[in-house]
Amino acid sequence: MAHATIPEAPATEDRFDRVATTTCGYCGVGCRLEARARGGRVVSIGPALDGPANEGHTCLKGRFAHGFTRSPDRLTTPLIRVDGVLRPASWEEALDLIVAELTRIKDAHGPDAIAGLASSRATNEDCYAMARLMRAAIGTNNIDNCSRVCHSPTSFALRKSFGLSGATGSFSDIDHAEVALLLGVNPTQGHPVVGARIKQAALRGCKLITIDPRRIELADYGAIHLSPRPGTNAAVVLGLCHVVHREGLLDADFIAERTEGWEAVEELLAGYDPAAVEEITGIPAADLEAAALLYGEAASGSLLWGLGVTEHKYGSEVVQLLCNLALMTGKVGKPGSALLPLRGQNNVQGSSDMGALPDTYTAYRSVEDEDVASLFEDAWGAPLSRTKGMKIPEMFDAAVAGELKAMYIFGEDVAQTDPDTAHVAAALESLEFLVCQEIFENETTKFADVVLPASAFLEKEGTFINAERRFQIVEPVIDPPGEARTDFEIIGEVARRLGHEFGWDSPWDALDEVARLTPEYAGVSRVRLGRTGLQWPVRPDGSDSPTLYDTVFDRPGGRGHFAALPYKAPGDAPDEEFPLVLVTGRILQHYNAGTMTRRTGNARLVDRDILEVHPVDAARLWVTDGDKVSVRSRVGRIEVEAKVTDRIEPGHVFTTFHFPETRTNLLVGQSSDVNTSCPEYKVIAVDVRPISEQPSFVPVLES
């Protein structure tokens, strides 16, 4: 029988009027995407098959969550506050007002009365421009980015222990690791494509050790899961090191030839036998022993961590302890033995690498270093301050104290996502002038005097740097909506009107300038990045560095540094009044402030924040699935729906911060990492009560 021939698919150019290979703008995995548009709308996104981080995969955000770009809520004109209400204005009016107010405040109170935030969602070139605007056009080092509330402890610790602020290897090290130890990171939700890669590695025989107070999905694929009390990571890692040492699983040659400071750590470890660690962490001694043996005996092992490590009072110290574990076993700088902090936002690595920080220029060079400061002074033709600027929490304190008068917040929803919402709101209220540069109105724009409409990642060009230090190209597939402009254009225009010309025609000129002024990125250029990107350091000839420290560490003398740091109790501890520990974090379907994912089909999958409660606590509290509960901490109170689940340990509760109506961060206090001021989002003592008048279910208590 003759079969009808299947008609050929129409050619790509007939189906789409614009296609672009770009990089995902959600998380730090940095999946390469093929985006296709028709009639000014994105119609499909798929994986770029040669993307090195994603190897043909994406998650549901990268692939499907693009509908926000043409949401009717997008900002399409500048807004100016008149009589308390934000009203549409022309670009001329908005820019004139910004320049007049910033100039007035600078003349009256000096440049340090002004501060800016760069967006870790935006490109390197946007962030570099923002840092240059604050330093050269305003004259202050008051510039910071979202890394402050995320992985600043990782950056601090890696620089102390090894020298450079970045993962020591690549995601491909997971494929070569005999063991992967995951401390306080939940990749199947936060970094799903890496999560899938870890699952595949586990199915092929890589042994996973997961350490998390919640039974995360990867625990089901692993060899050992440990559930520590939140805030006790230091004791866990010291315990692992104790057993590795006791069992003689050290790499003595590596310690002798490539490290310094081991003796003090050896002495310290004596106090952390598994029984002592069980007391602090609640982890059964035998389980800790088994995990230590698994890691210690393996020929290769990688360490992955996330916010369950960093967002704590001693977060940076725990990262230093993880570096100790790698150094004492020689598991660093080799294939399969990488330290891979899973950096969060698409470009949080890059915004920091580009010097959008109060104390450093590009590649973490100090603003106090005379040679570095004069290098930029010559390049920019403007006098530059040698004094460190304020970190984000210091900005808010200074605003409340009346010392900081104006802020320019670019792509960060601090009123929803920063800790202690009441304090943030008080700070924003206290400012004389607030500019927000955004793609949507959000909780922060409610305080703004001027809102500038900007462009999302599918509408701009430049580069991002992913969690494995890879510069990758970003290309537009649609134009910004209405009168919205690219972030790069807006920042350049504000600087120009303040009297400082960047002299760039496009983001690629800014990238060339970064390469010229920064030895670590010397060989980066648009052409060399090509389709698959380059991992810094990139030498002048364009060769890059997938693995760091294969021969020397990047510290004076070239040795890795052991830090002798004991366990200390977390800042906020449960007591009779606040008996439960609240851990906050994220879920797969929504992204941080949720401004984007809440405006996509993902909102139909999950439409609210919920509080996870263990069945034992739920019974004691008379709470059943779906009940509204009140959650009270030492600083605030919220209402949220409860979900009863045994993924969480008794005594702990968990919620997310994706929906502004929940206001989760009202509960978070001022406690933060001792070295970097990263907030302690992960340990909040709370009291939980049902608020329905009639409990829908009265548990039968067994006698």
Ligand X SMILES: Nc1nc2c(c(=O)[nH]1)N[C@H]1C(S)=C(S)[C@@H](COP(=O)(O)OP(=O)(O)OC[C@H]3O[C@@H](n4cnc5c(=O)[nH]c(N)nc54)[C@H](O)[C@@H]3O)O[C@H]1N2
- In the complex, least distance from residue 600 CB atom to ligand X, rounded to whole angstroms: 12
- Binds ligand X (CB under 6 A): choice among 161, 643, 681, 686: 681
Residue 62 binding: pick among ligand SF4, ligand X, Mo ion, none (C-beta 5-8 Å cut-off by kind): ligand SF4
| 187 lies in the binding site for Mo ion (CB under 5 A) | no
Which two tokens mark 233? 């990571």
Quick one: which of 127, 158, 216, 224 contacts ligand X (CB under 6 A)? Answer: 216
- As a whole number of angstroms, the distance between CA 449 and CA 104 comes to 15
Q: How far is the CB of 318 from ligand X (least distance, A)?
A: 8
Q: Which residue has the tokens 């979900």?
A: 643
58 binds, among ligand X, Mo ion, ligand SF4, none (CB under 5 to 8 A by kind): ligand SF4
CA dist 370 and 389 (Å) reads 16
Q: Are 205 and 220 in contact (CB under 8 A)?
A: no
Closest residue to ligand SF4: CB criterion: 62
Token look-up 């290897």 returns 169
Stretch near ligand X under the rule CB under 6 A, chosen from 42-50, 135-143, 179-187, 392-400: 179-187
Pick the closer one to ligand SF4 by CB: 337 or 597: 597
Provide the CA 217 distance to its chain's centre, in angstroms: 21
Residue 413 or residue 627: which is nearer to Mo ion going by CB? Answer: 413
Q: Which residues contribute to the site for ligand SF4 (CB under 6 A)?
A: 24, 26-27, 29-31, 54, 58-59, 61-62, 191-193
Please pick, from the candidates 78, 341, 344, 350, the single residue that binds Mo ion as defined by CB under 5 A.
Answer: 344
**Rounded Cα–Cα distance for residues 32 and 193 (Å):** 11
Residue (195 or 523) nearer to ligand SF4, CB: 195
* Shortest spacing between CB 558 and ligand X, in angstroms: 31
Give the amino acid at 362: T
x/- mask, ligand X, residues 615-654, rule CB under 6 A, reads: ----------------------------------------
- Which of 170, 186, 466, 633 binds ligand X (CB under 6 A)? It is 186
Query: With CB under 6 A as the contact rule, which of the stretches 86-94, 116-124, 239-247, 322-330 interacts with ligand X?
Result: 116-124
Rounded to a whole number of angstroms, the minimum distance from the CB of residue 375 to ligand X is 29
Smaller CB distance to Mo ion: residue 513 or 680? 680
CA atoms within 13 A on the CB side of 142: 27
Choices 82-90, 317-325, 342-350, 582-590 (CB under 5 A): range interacting with Mo ion: 342-350
Q: Which helix (H) or strand (E) covers residue 130, if one does?
A: helix 124-132
State the minimum distance, in angstroms, from the CB of residue 677 to ligand X: 13
Sole residue written with tokens 């996973």: 208
Kind and range of the H or E run holding 686? strand 684-690
Contacts of residue 544, defined as CB under 8 A and 6 or more positions apart, other chains included, come to: 523, 534, 535, 536, 537, 538
H helices of 230-272, in order, are: 233-246, 252-258, 262-269
Per-residue mark of binding to ligand X, 403-442 (x: CB under 6 A): -------xxxx---x-------------------xxxx-x
User: Considering the complex, what minimum distance in angstroms separates the CB of residue 344 from Mo ion?
Assistant: 3
Binding to Mo ion by CB under 5 A, coded x per residue (else -) over 287-326, reads ----------------------------------------
Query: Is residue 22 part of the contact set for ligand X (CB under 6 A)?
Result: no
Strand order in the sheet with 462-465: 462-465, 470-474, 534-535
Residue selected from 294, 328, 583, 666 as contacting ligand X according to rule CB under 6 A: 583
User: What residue spans of 387-525 are helical by DSSP H?
Assistant: 392-400, 414-417, 421-430, 487-497, 507-517
Please work out, in degrees rounded to the nearest 5, the angle formed at the alpha carbon of residue 560 by the alpha carbons of 558 and 562: 145
Which of ligand SF4, ligand X, Mo ion, none does 31 bind, CB closer than 5 to 8 A by kind? Answer: ligand SF4
Distance of closest approach, residue 577 Cβ to ligand X, in angstroms: 21
242 backbone φψ class: left, alpha, beta (φ>0; ψ -120 to 50):
alpha
The CB-side HSE value for 38 (13 A sphere, CA atoms) comes to 8
Beta bridge mates, 451: 79, 436
CA distance 231 to 280: 10
Binds 585, which of ligand X, ligand SF4, Mo ion, none (CB < 5 to 8 A, cut-off by type)?
ligand X
User: Contact between 571 and ligand X (CB under 6 A)?
Assistant: no
Nearer to ligand SF4, 147 or 597 (CB): 597
User: Would you say how long the chain is, in residues?
Assistant: 703
Q: How far apart are CA 458 and CA 451, in angstroms?
A: 21
Query: Which residue type does 446 have?
Result: K
Distance CA 611, CA 654 (A): 6
- Which segments of 534-660 are extended strands (E)? 534-535, 560-561, 580-585, 610-613, 628-632, 637-644, 652-656
- Report how far apart, in Å, the C-alpha atoms of 130 and of each of 118, 338, 355, 521 are: 6, 32, 10, 19
Q: Would you call 438 helix, strand, or coil by DSSP?
A: strand
Nearest to 323 by CA among 259, 252, 267, 253: 259
Question: How far apart are the C-alpha atoms of 92 and 230, rounded to whole Å?
Answer: 51
Candidates 44-52, 115-123, 245-253, 394-402: pick the segment binding ligand X (CB under 6 A).
Answer: 115-123
Neighbouring residues of 505: CB distance < 8 A, sequence distance ≥ 6: none
Considering beta carbons, is residue 250 or 448 the nearer one to ligand X? 448
Q: Does 586 bind ligand X (CB under 6 A)?
A: yes
Q: Which does 522 bind (CB under 5 to 8 A by kind): ligand SF4, ligand X, Mo ion, none?
A: none
Which of the choices ligand X, ligand SF4, Mo ion, none does residue 212 contact, using the CB cut-off of 5 to 8 A by kind?
A: ligand X
Residue type (1 letter), 141: N
Shortest Cβ 107–ligand X spacing (Å): 28
Identity of the residue, 411 or 492, whose beta carbon is nearer to ligand X in the bound complex:
411
Count of C-beta atoms within a 10 Å radius of residue 523: 18
Q: One symbol per residue from 146 to 175: x for binding Mo ion (CB under 5 A), - otherwise; what is it?
A: ----x-------------------------
Q: Which two tokens stand for residue 513?
A: 């300038």
Q: DSSP state, 6?
A: P
Task: Fill in the DSSP letter of residue 334.
Answer: B
3-state secondary structure of 641: strand
- Binding flag, residue 588, ligand X (CB under 6 A): yes
Count of beta carbons in the 10 Å neighbourhood of residue 143: 28
* Residue closer to ligand X (CB basis): 241 or 307: 307
Can you tell me which of 165, 172, 233, 347 binds ligand X, judged by CB under 6 A?
233
Q: Report which secondary-structure segment, H or E, holds 158.
A: helix 152-161
From the list 91-99, 171-179, 254-262, 306-314, the region that binds ligand X by CB under 6 A is: 306-314
Work out what residue 193 binds among Mo ion, ligand X, ligand SF4, none; the CB cut-off runs from 5 to 8 Å by kind.
Answer: ligand SF4
CB of 35 to ligand SF4, least distance (A): 12
Which residues sit at the interface with ligand X, rule CB under 6 A?
Answer: 27, 119, 121-122, 146, 149-150, 183-186, 189-191, 211-214, 216, 228, 230-231, 233, 306-308, 311, 342, 344-345, 410-413, 417, 437-440, 442, 454, 456-457, 487, 583-586, 588, 590-593, 595, 657, 664-665, 668, 681-682
Contacting residues toward Mo ion, per CB under 5 A: 150, 344
